[in-house]
């Protein structure tokens, strides 16, 4: 995905051991928050060490973010802090003569394809943030609100709870 946090690094300028520090400014944070459906993104930064092996570029580092999401039950704001390591491998996009499907192994999940003469480290890190945020945030009052609405908890709705209820009824 492209966004305002794009930070293109030219391939011919990347050297082994290069350190890259990316800190999103206010407008970049607003654009990312909008794209990810966040109420706010108060802080977003990443620090990476680059290594190069031929046409493959590896970025290892850490991303940190302070954000606010809406509770999926109450819509109350839910504050969150993310401090996650990342390991991204940038590799040339498969050419037209190569197969369309690319099979990725377990260790290849953070592969980013590039074409041209640059990689976009900023957008790849923004995508990593998207994968790091909680998909269903809940506020402190979410469980009480669900109970009040008559929604059973996971423990109450489990098959074992139903079996236990049947056993209690048989005891009479």
133 with 163, same domain? no
Whole domain around residue 156: which residue ranges?
141-172
Take residue 133 and report the two structure tokens written for it: 């945020």
pLDDT at 33: 94
- Is pTM beyond 0.75? Reply is yes
Tell me whether residue 3 is in a domain: no
Tell me whether residue 86 is in a domain: yes
119 with 162, same domain? no
* Residue 98 · residue 113 · CB < 8 Å: no
* Residue 124 · residue 88 · CB < 8 Å: yes
Burial class (CB in 10 A: 0-12, 13-18, 19+), 51: middle
60 with 113, same domain? yes
pLDDT at 98: 56
Q: How far is CA 145 from CA 76, 97, 98, 137, 158, in A?
A: 11, 56, 54, 14, 20
The mean pLDDT values, 10 residues at a time, for the chain of 172 residues are 75 92 95 94 97 92 96 88 95 72 65 90 94 89 75 70 70 54
112 with 40, same domain? yes
44 with 108, same domain? yes
Say how many domains are in the chain: 2
Q: How far is CA 59 from CA 17, 27, 64, 90, 120, in A?
A: 10, 25, 15, 8, 11
163 with 83, same domain? no
102 with 167, same domain? no
* C-alpha to C-alpha distance for 114 and 3, rounded to whole angstroms: 16
158 with 118, same domain? no
13 with 93, same domain? yes
169 with 148, same domain? yes
* C-alpha to C-alpha distance for 85 and 83, rounded to whole angstroms: 7
pLDDT at 132: 93
Q: How many CB atoms lie within 10 A of CB 42?
A: 14
DSSP code, position 100: S
* C-alpha to C-alpha distance for 112 and 58, rounded to whole angstroms: 10
87 with 76, same domain? yes
């Amino acid at each position: 995905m492209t966004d305002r946090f794009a930070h293109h690094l030219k391939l011919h300028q990347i050297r082994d051991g290069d350190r890259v520090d990316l800190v999103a400014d206010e407008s970049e944070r607003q654009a990312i928050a909008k794209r990810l459906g966040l109420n706010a993104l108060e802080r977003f930064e990443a620090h990476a060490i680059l290594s190069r092996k031929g046409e493959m570029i590896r970025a290892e580092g850490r991303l940190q973010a302070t954000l606010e999401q809406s509770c999926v039950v109450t819509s109350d704001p839910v504050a969150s802090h993310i401090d996650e390591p990342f390991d991204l491998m940038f590799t040339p996009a498969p050419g037209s003569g190569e197969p369309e499907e690319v099979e990725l192994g377990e260790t290849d999940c953070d592969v980013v394809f590039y074409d041209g003469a640059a990689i976009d480290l900023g957008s790849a890190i923004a995508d990593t943030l998207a994968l790091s945020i909680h998909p269903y945030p809940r506020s402190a009052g979410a469980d009480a609100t669900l109970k009040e609405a008559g929604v059973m908890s996971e423990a109450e709705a489990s098959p074992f709870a139903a079996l236990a209820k049947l056993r209690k009824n048989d005891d009479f």
